[in-house]
Amino acid sequence: MIYAQSPQGRPMPAPSGRPKRPMWHWLLVAGVAALGLLVIGIFAVVIAFQVLTRGNPQTTLEDFYSALGTTDCELFMDSTTEGYREATGLTSCSIFEEELGHFSSVDYEVDERINRQGYAIFEVTESYSSAGEDVEVKLRYYVRRIDGQWDLDGIEVIEPGAEPIT
């Protein structure tokens, strides 16, 4: 390789023969990179919005108990599915208030929560007084996600010795 001499006497490398990139090339590359980052940012915002607005099935369970304790028909209707209301016969506010107007407060404790595809299953110990006696019942609540909202879809009594859901 032939080196030219610099004025200070040091050898200089010969030019490579490749032309320098023009300024428009670097602006184009920067524009494409910025556009790519913008698209990624938009996707991140959409995904974050979807995750943050998913709701919480436990809030549905709390709303259900609150509706029973305060005889709030609107909250009851909003926290249950139509299928559940039909199965229990609580299909209108007048029926709800007539059937549950005497209902006193119920204490409950969530023993276990199991997540399934589109469902959250809560095993709950419910405590209340009936005819002067303290009653404790173990129940399984099925909270279903429909159109982005969690609604109570079913309740079953857990029999003593029953197999847990795994």
pLDDT tens-digit readout, 33-55? 999 999 999 988 887 776 666 67
Q: What's the whole-number average pLDDT of the chain?
A: 82
pLDDT of residue 70: 84
Closest CA to 147 of 75, 67, 76, 55: 55
Q: Kindly report the CATH number that applies to the domain delimited by 57-157.
A: 3.10.450.50
In this predicted model, what pLDDT tens digit does every residue of 92-150 receive, in sequence order?
Answer: 988 888 887 666 667 889 888 888 888 899 999 988 877 778 888 899 999 998 877 89
Is the predicted pLDDT of residue 2 greater than 60, yes or no? Answer: no
Question: What is the phi/psi pair of residue 118, to 5°?
Answer: 80, 0
> What are 6-19's pLDDT values in tens digits?
566 666 665 666 77
Across the chain, the runs of DSSP E, i.e. the strands, are: 4-5, 11-12, 107-116, 119-130, 133-146, 149-157
116 within 8 A of 86, measured Cβ to Cβ:
no
One-character DSSP codes across 43-90? HHHHHHHHHHTS--HHHHHHHHHHHHHHT-HHHHHHHB-HHHHHHHT-
